[in-house]
Structure 1
Amino acid sequence: MTISSTHSHLADRLGRATVLVVGDLMLDCYYWGDVRRISPEAPVPVVKVKVNEKTYRLGGAGNVAANLTGLGCRAALIGLIGKDTAAGRVKDLLASFNIDDRCVADADRPTTTKTRIMASKQQVVRLDEEDGSGITTGTAHRLLSAATDMIPRADAVILSDYGKGMFASPEFIQQIIRACNEAGVPVFIDPKGRDWSRYAGATCITPNTAELELATGSRVRAEGELVPVALDFRRQLGVAWLLVTRGPEGMALFGEDPSPVLIAARAREVFDVSGAGDTVIATLAAGVATGLSFAQAASVANTAAGIVVGKLGTWALRWAELENALMGEAEPKPASTLWKVAGLPEASDRLATWRQAGQRIVFTNGCFDLLHPGHVSLLHQARHLGDRLIVGLNTDASIQRLKGAQRPILPGRDRAAILSALEDVDMVVFFDDDTPLNLIAQLKPDILVKGADYRIEDVVGKSVVEAYGGQVRLVEILEGHSTTAIARKLSANGNNSEPSVKE
């Protein structure tokens, strides 16, 4: 059974799978701002945090669970939180991702929080609030009770060890592993630290190269170095599988067979590896839970990793992204990206998911008839103002009313197909009115974008967006490019009548 023959049915199987995540839960906080000067008090940049530009995301075990629900699985999470403001934010985020919250609160510990100060999409500094000491016997008992109650109902269990104290006790980990083995439930571990004997008996461990080198004391960068060390280490630990993530070198899966399964990396462009390990273990466990072999599930997890490292910050994978990537690998030609084209109900659902993840929504609109470099430049600038870009696209009927019977040159489906193929575009939504005002009012983007050839007071939707606290931004236009100029040249060459309306 190959991935190409099964991925079309994988979504249904994922929807029936339940995966339990036990581990170090964190809150990732991002403060977004700009740097324009150096502080007179010390040689450090001054970051002016933008109004209402603080976002919160699930980190650690929370990000693992968010990846699982993003794939369509039922996910339950057992983690440790404090009794503080951060704990409330964590619980709200868990609810927004529809994660079964079985967390244990400990008033004597803070909720682990990582605050990143971001400027121009670059991290300036990170502030960590945590207590990495081992958990008390009473807290361990509550966590273990929650785990043993849930394990028999799970199709897979993930232990997400970030070294924040929850797994400091080897006996605590072994009790969970034994409970999984007795229930016949595979247990996957994202490891931390030097001593991995506490993971003995697990089904699979998923280290990266640096983690494996730390645990074995051996260099494993090259394939010739990796294979003997990994094979021997897997046997020593008594684990069935060892999946080593190797960054640009892809992955290597080790089992009973002396020859590992080597999987080439899929990332087109790497922006940030934060959370990639969470995505790998979530996708691997989910794949095995649905009945894929370990080699098949590792291949899918490798594709998933290639998606998330192309994004800035910690992001939960979505099934639509993974499905599209799998189709692209299975088909002899690049897969269609028309799944990005959405009607209003589907657009609203996607928006809700993006907003739950704290993502900023950018909107721009137009006819985009005969896409040219000016269009591409505008879309690229718009996308970099936020996390998701929605393009409002005039229908054919709308364009005919605005520009005459000779337009559009390309029908709506073709224009949507071209736009959706652009990496900067996350969603395309048609509108049939003469202006996008009603669409803007329904989608409520955080940022409304038009070209700098407009006056900001003339931008359709300005008052609507600003009324709920959004922004209107004008971006530079690339001079010398227009659909009219292209159409005029085509008309001259074909001796046809010339379109009279500029775009």
Structure 2
Amino acid sequence: MSATPLQPFDILERTEIASILDKLSMASVAVVGDFCLDVYWTIDPSASEDSVETGLRTQPVRQQRYSPGGAGNVVANLVALGAHRIYPVGILGEDPFGRELRRLLEHPSVDQRGLISQAESWATHSYVKPYVDSRELNRIDHGNFNRLSAETRREFFERLEEILEKVSVVLINHQVIGSVHDDEAFRSALREIMERHPSVCFVVDSRKYHEAYASAVHKLNEAEVMRSCGISLEPGDSVPVEELAQRAGELYQRWGSPLVVTRGDRGCFVFSSDVVWQIFGVQLPGRIDPVGAGDTFVATLAAILSSGVNLAAAAFVANVAAAVTAQKLFQTGTASPGEVLALGANADFSYHPELSESPHRARYLDGTEIEVITEPSPALNIRHAIFDHDGTISTLREGWEQIMEPMMIKAVLGEHFHDAEEVVFHRAQHRVREFIERTTGIQTIAQMHGLVDLIREFGMVPEEALLTPAEYKAVYNTDLQALVDRRLEKLDRGELEISDFTIKGAVAFLHALKQAGVRLYLASGTDEADVKIEAARLGYADLFDGGIYGSVGQITKDAKRMVIERILREVGGAFEQLVAFGDGPVEIRETNRRGSYAVGIASDEKRRFGTNIDKRPRLVRAGAHAIIPDFSQWPSLWSFLRLGSIGER
């Protein structure tokens, strides 16, 4: 198994995801494990006084907030997913924290018969997080010294036996010191239960007890895989994908049970039967907070397995659900079916993350600068070609990032742009640059919707002073259009030529494709009217007999996606007839997702030839099958794409 190659799992379509999510209303899941309470205290020293008893300053709590943690958060996720019946099975203390946790878990779909209280030697696992000025102080932990009594253990398994008659999946959760799983007799009894109920699917998510429940389906992260193989990782360490797959394969052989290995934004692996599926991660455009994403993943996995769906498909949807939660900042979030479907239907998946970060792994067509990631299919028979415009053919808008960046920073800081503290300015600058990098290639109007979110995130502009996304776009377009107009004026005066504003070899390649009978389409995230004007001024608008398309100002109408879908409808879904060229992730991703061939252009727009090394990683992650720096070697590209003899097609 350790040598079995990873098999990319097919991206599920919207209808497939919807069908899986619809089944969640039938799911019945028991959650066995560490039920915790997360406690947030906001301390305000302004009301502090000297304690009469100790003479020390008091720590007044202005605000307090409580939320389920550990297995409790898994239950909260199952509720959010709409599971039919949820059975929490665990131990609480007879204390205020235990009573609050019971209250928080109250819901029509949650049956609390499995929550048992132990009066002595057991405190509800509670994690008190005091904050002063948004700074977290030392955490205060309750429950680390818990000891399970024999009587409580007996009652626990009596309740569990009763509940097992009502569920198809049991999720075993372990993550704290003082856990029920720390009791050896408990682990032994749970193993016996598992052996007596082979028809029930047990899923284990544990920091250190996977070995104790070997027959279960195992959900592990990278660190847990390596730890189970006797290898410790330091915080921040990453494991090469080949080694991780090998180590996980060793565990699969050792335990003889399926494994799901989560890798954060890199997706996950599924070891099942004789196949190792690689499920791609989801690229998210804004800030992320991974707290709670693991709970969302395992809750979604368990609920979908309870609905009778296979493990790989369950992991695919769980991966999307975890991405939904990761976008919810400053909270232990959950994901609803609607949110999962909305993201899954249009998710930006991250392909080949290791290759994207390792240019030394690149493989080139002999004697060329054409990087080959995936060979064209023997069935490739190109009849339609989609081209992005800016950075793929035209360089008229080269430098747009340098216009968007200061415009966005000014919008984020508002009236404080000139007097903001240096640390605040640099934080805004970093977030804006990160945002532009993540959103390059999407419609400008979509970027401006993201800008509004950024402005709210920083909180320096009053809500009543916010502009609409369309108004922010108008500000940006005014500045950018001034740059474009100056360049076109130089073209009109004969000071510069068309070749000064086009990627090397691009226009010659377009003419060759047109002569060969390939139908050409131009699709851009720039406003459609501007794209048509600029293509005409640069002399190649008439080559695009399939049409020229751009943004029409509606975020739901992406020109590139619509053109690809239209072409595939016209050719009856014959994906082997379509190829796309672009320097941004949108056209690459949309083409890849539909099974057609995608060529990334890692163009250096300043020089108009050669490679921009900053573009390559995002093109690889977007799913480019091949990457070129420009079209200077287009005859070699022509042969590579099986377009036949030049001029004879």
Shorter-chain TM band = 0.5 to 0.7
* Inter-CA distance 100–3: structure 2 relative to 1 (3 Å threshold): farther
Q: Retained in 1: the 8 A contact 2:41–2:131? A: yes
| TM-fit CA distance, 1:134 | 4.3
Q: Retained in 1: the 8 A contact 2:78–2:300? A: yes
Aligned to 2:193: 179
Aligned to 1:263: 280
Aligned to 1:6: 16
Q: Retained in 1: the 8 A contact 2:282–2:348? A: no
Aligned to 2:301: 284
- TM-score under structure 1 normalisation? 0.61
* Inter-CA distance 46–289: structure 2 relative to 1 (3 Å threshold): same
* Inter-CA distance 282–174: structure 2 relative to 1 (3 Å threshold): farther
Aligned to 2:81: 71
Aligned to 2:492: none
Indicate the SS of the match to 1:157. Answer: strand
The one-letter code sitting in structure 2 at the alignment partner of 1:18 is S
The one-letter code sitting in structure 2 at the alignment partner of 1:325 is L
| Residue among 198, 204, 208 paired with 2:212 | 198
Distance in 1 between residues matched to 2:454 and 2:268, nearest whole Å: 28
Aligned to 1:32: 42
Aligned counterparts, 1:102-181, within 5 A:
102-108=114-120, 109-119=122-132, 121-163=134-176, 164-180=178-194
* Inter-CA distance 124–308: structure 2 relative to 1 (3 Å threshold): farther
Distance in 2 between residues matched to 1:64 and 1:485, nearest whole Å: 40
Aligned to 1:55: 65
* Inter-CA distance 111–227: structure 2 relative to 1 (3 Å threshold): same
User: How many residue pairs were aligned?
Assistant: 356
Q: Retained in 2: the 8 A contact 1:303–1:326? A: yes
Aligned counterparts, 1:292-441, within 5 A:
292-310=309-327, 311-329=329-347
| TM-fit CA distance, 1:159 | 0.6
Q: Retained in 1: the 8 A contact 2:48–2:60? A: no
* Inter-CA distance 482–328: structure 2 relative to 1 (3 Å threshold): closer
Deviations 1:466-497 (CA, angstroms, capped at 9, x unpaired): xxxxxxxx94765999999999xxxxxxxxxx
Aligned counterparts, 1:480-495, within 5 A:
none
Distance in 1 between residues matched to 2:469 and 2:15, nearest whole Å: 44
| TM-fit CA distance, 1:419 | 8.1
| TM-fit CA distance, 1:180 | 4.3
The one-letter code sitting in structure 2 at the alignment partner of 1:23 is G
Pair member with larger Rg: 2
* Inter-CA distance 95–480: structure 2 relative to 1 (3 Å threshold): closer
Distance in 1 between residues matched to 2:267 and 2:472, nearest whole Å: 46
Distance in 2 between residues matched to 1:71 and 1:233, nearest whole Å: 30
Distance in 2 between residues matched to 1:190 and 1:377, nearest whole Å: 43
Aligned to 2:402: none
Distance in 1 between residues matched to 2:169 and 2:281, nearest whole Å: 26
Aligned to 1:492: none
Indicate the SS of the match to 2:304. Answer: helix
Indicate the SS of the match to 2:17. Answer: helix
Q: Retained in 2: the 8 A contact 1:133–1:165? A: yes
| TM-fit CA distance, 1:125 | 3.1
Distance in 1 between residues matched to 2:100 and 2:279, nearest whole Å: 40
Distance in 1 between residues matched to 2:471 and 2:336, nearest whole Å: 39
The one-letter code sitting in structure 2 at the alignment partner of 1:60 is G
Distance in 2 between residues matched to 1:75 and 1:294, nearest whole Å: 20
Indicate the SS of the match to 1:167. Answer: helix
Indicate the SS of the match to 1:28. Answer: strand
Aligned counterparts, 1:462-481, within 5 A:
475=462, 478=465
Indicate the SS of the match to 2:124. Answer: coil
Distance in 2 between residues matched to 1:97 and 1:70, nearest whole Å: 12
| TM-fit CA distance, 1:142 | 1.1
* Inter-CA distance 46–246: structure 2 relative to 1 (3 Å threshold): farther
Unaligned runs of 5+ in 1: 332-371, 379-417, 427-450, 453-473, 488-503
| TM-fit CA distance, 1:126 | 1.7
| Residue among 252, 256, 262 paired with 1:238 | 256
Distance in 1 between residues matched to 2:30 and 2:342, nearest whole Å: 26
Q: Retained in 1: the 8 A contact 2:226–2:247? A: no
- TM-score under structure 2 normalisation? 0.48
Identity, % of aligned positions: 24
Indicate the SS of the match to 1:206. Answer: strand
